[in-house]
């Protein structure tokens, strides 16, 4: 039996806000860490409140390792490694086995990593770990040209469906301008269609052999599992994958090119400014603050591990002086706004609480911990992240804003609609290559005709329903999971089918307007009024880390809220206030 390093986190903490009193809550998330002889790292996250188990395999290889002229290879490999046939030719693929045993399975490729995720009843833990062992051990064994051709078209169609040619071409152009030739971040993880067409089966096998080694992998398991059982399952599966030395990782040189303004035509509908700015170095004291304010304050997106971006439609114009003035104005306004601790505290609260809310689901929890472990964090992963957030001061946030929005660092791209631009995308149909091998497990007719066996449940839930004097029907369900989260849904029997003829879309507009109240705050240092719901999320919900959405369907409109259980009263009060405002 291998030795697991146990870190039992019983955290009594508060998502502190500037509003007294501060309520505390208890978070009980034990972590257990180990390493196999072949170099693979293991993270166990036991949760006896669930009947399920989530398994995430994170491999330290991503699109940054795509060879020159073969962009998208890492993503294509991700797809192909579901096509392995553990039983040999003519038997079911790994994908079919997952469909048979798991409730959910998926994968995604990023710049620097590839993740494989699965969720199943806890009784299937051994199967899930065995599948991942097969993925690592078998590699491209058994893959043929017909499978490569079919999955290549699937990947290309996926790119068209998710982004469309207009968005993809605009982003590719921005990346090609932002990073120098040869930089591993100069293309998206999905790759370019022409490069995908050049990928051969030999390219696939070489990539898997070079990078899919146990020493590059982290396995994270969350759910109803104990150490003894996990130890036996690991010994029977992943521990048997032979150790081998992986190829070195791609060298990532310093990032963005020098600050400048670049104009180019793109297949888009509206003239848009896309601005990119580098993050401080990993060991810089402003790094954590910069990551926080870029996401929650500036409203930016993560372009790469070392750079963030944000888009705007300037009111003044798109020339260099006007863009620099826009950036400088935002830098001054937000920087002075965050100088006051009372203004910054809600942002820190939001980041900490959203981190916790993101750990409620088993798959998300396993994925988050796999990422933290792969990045070198040891036991106490959640504690370290919370402490990192709580340690950020208003002064650091102010300096981070001034760093990120320094016109001398910002690279600006002005995208202008090209002549004849359609700004539309659709997936193209394709004729898949014929594959004579079956991809489904045989069905037992007798079993199919019989009743479905329902396994006993271990997760406790208390359900109560009643009706208020005003006619509102209420259903309460109490859960006993380790992450203290409260969710609320308020549903009305009215939807798009009730739109007036003269106002089509009224239900959708109403749902959006009610769930997104604009709150304005005066920045005393500049005398300006800033719509903080657009830039600084300090409205009543976000100040407590809550999320609230409104959506209209054909026959109903639903407002959903989610936050920490300690604030469930505020969550319900907020939903009620939205209804009162609508009246």
Residue 411: inside a domain: no
Query: Which CATH number goes with the domain that contains 145?
Result: 3.30.830.10
Extract the tokens encoding 271.
């003239």
Tens digits of per-residue pLDDT, 338-392?
A: 898 888 888 888 888 888 888 989 999 999 999 989 987 667 778 888 888 989 9
The total domain count for the chain is 2
Residues in the chain, total: 583
Q: What is the pTM of this model?
A: 0.85
Tell me whether residue 531 is in a domain.
yes
Contacts of 479 by beta carbon, 8 Å cutoff, 6+ apart: 49, 459, 460, 461
In this structure, is residue 71 part of a structural domain?
A: yes
142: which 2 tokens?
């058994």
pLDDT higher than threshold 80 for residue 580: no
The pLDDT tens digits for 473-531 are 999 988 878 888 888 999 999 999 999 999 888 999 888 888 765 433 333 334 443 33
User: Is residue 509 assigned to a domain?
Assistant: yes
pLDDT tens per residue across span 191-242: 989 999 999 999 999 999 999 999 999 999 999 998 899 999 999 999 999 9
Nearest CA among 72, 59, 65 for reference residue 207: 65
Does 372 map to a domain?
A: no
3-state secondary structure of 166: helix
pLDDT tens sequence across 104-128: 999 999 999 999 999 999 999 999 9
Q: How many CA atoms lie within 13 A of 452 on its CB side?
A: 1
Q: What six digits make up the tokens of 560?
A: 């959903």
Cis peptide before 21 (omega within 30 of 0): yes
Three-state DSSP state, 113 = coil
Do the domain assignments include residue 76? Answer: yes
Q: What is the pLDDT averaged over residues 176-194? A: 89
Residue 458: inside a domain: no
Is the pLDDT reported for residue 5 higher than 70? no
Instruction: Of 494, 465, 473, 486, give the one whose Cα is nearest residue 572.
Output: 486
Q: Examine the fold and report which residue of 221, 240, 259 is the final residue of a domain before the chain moves on.
A: 240
Domain limits at 217? 31-240
Last residue of a domain, one of 240, 258, 280: 240
Is residue 468 a part of any domain in this protein?
Answer: no
Final residue of a structural domain among 216, 240, 264: 240
- 236's CB contacts (< 8 A; 6+ apart) are 126, 129, 130
């Amino acid at each position: 039996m291998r030795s697991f390093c146990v870190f039992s986190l019983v955290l009594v903490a508060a998502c502190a806000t500037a509003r007294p009193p501060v309520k505390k809550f208890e978070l009980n998330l034990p972590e257990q860490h180990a390493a196999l002889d072949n170099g693979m790292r293991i993270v166990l996250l036991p949760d006896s409140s669930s009947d399920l188990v989530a398994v995430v395999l994170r491999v330290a290889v991503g699109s940054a390792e795509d060879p020159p002229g073969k962009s998208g290879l890492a993503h294509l490999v991700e797809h192909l490694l579901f096509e392995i046939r553990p039983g040999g030719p003519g038997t079911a693929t790994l994908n079919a086995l997952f469909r048979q045993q798991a409730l959910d399975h998926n994968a995604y490729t990023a710049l620097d990593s590839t993740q494989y995720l699965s969720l199943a009843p806890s009784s299937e833990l051994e199967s899930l770990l065995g599948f991942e062992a097969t993925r690592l051990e078998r590699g491209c064994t058994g893959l043929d040209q017909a499978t490569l051709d079919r999955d290549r078209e699937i990947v290309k169609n996926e790119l068209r469906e998710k982004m469309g040619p207009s968005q993809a071409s605009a982003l590719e152009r921005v990346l090609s301008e932002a990073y120098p030739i040869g930089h591993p971040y100069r293309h998206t993880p999905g790759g370019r269609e022409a490069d995908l067409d050049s990928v051969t089966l030999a390219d696939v096998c070489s990539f898997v052999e070079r990078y899919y080694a146990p020493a590059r992998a982290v396995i994270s398991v969350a759910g109803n599992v104990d150490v003894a059982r996990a130890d036996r399952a690991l010994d029977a599966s992943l521990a048997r994958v032979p150790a081998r030395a992986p190829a070195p990782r791609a060298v990532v040189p310093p990032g963005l090119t020098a600050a400048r303004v670049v104009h180019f035509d793109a297949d888009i509908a509206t003239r848009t400014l896309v601005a990119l700015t580098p993050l401080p170095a990993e060991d810089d004291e402003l790094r954590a603050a910069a990551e926080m304010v870029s996401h929650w304050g500036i409203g930016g997106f993560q372009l790469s591990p070392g750079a963030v971006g944000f888009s705007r439609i300037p009111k003044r114009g798109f020339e260099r002086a006007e863009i620099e003035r826009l950036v400088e104005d935002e830098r001054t306004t937000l920087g002075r706004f965050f100088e006051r601790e009372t203004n910054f505290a809600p942002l820190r609260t939001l980041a900490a609480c959203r981190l916790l809310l993101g750990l409620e689901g088993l798959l998300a929890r396993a994925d988050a911990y796999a990422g933290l472990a792969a990045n070198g964090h040891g036991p106490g992963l959640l504690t370290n992240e919370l402490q990192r957030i709580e340690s950020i001061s208003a002064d650091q946030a102010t300096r981070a804003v001034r760093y990120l929005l320094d016109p001398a660092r910002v690279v600006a791209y002005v995208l202008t609609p090209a002549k004849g631009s359609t700004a539309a995308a659709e997936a193209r149909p394709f004729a898949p290559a014929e594959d004579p091998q079956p991809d489904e497990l045989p069905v037992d007719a007798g079993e199919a005709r019989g009743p479905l066996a329902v396994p006993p449940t271990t997760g406790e839930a208390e359900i109560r329903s009643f009706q208020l004097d005003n006619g509102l029907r209420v259903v309460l369900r109490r859960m006993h999971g380790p992450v203290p989260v409260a969710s609320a849904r308020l549903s009305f029997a009215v939807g798009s089918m009730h739109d007036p003829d003269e106002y089509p879309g009224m239900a959708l507009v109403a749902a959006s307007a009610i769930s997104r109240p604009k709150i304005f705050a005066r920045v005393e240092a500049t005398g300006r009024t800033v719509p903080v719901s657009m830039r600084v999320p300090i409205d009543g919900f976000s100040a407590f880390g809550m999320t609230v959405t409104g959506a209209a369907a054909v026959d109903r409109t639903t407002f959903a809220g989610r936050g920490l259980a300690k604030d469930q009263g505020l969550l319900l009060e907020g939903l009620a206030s939205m209804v009162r405002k609508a009246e």
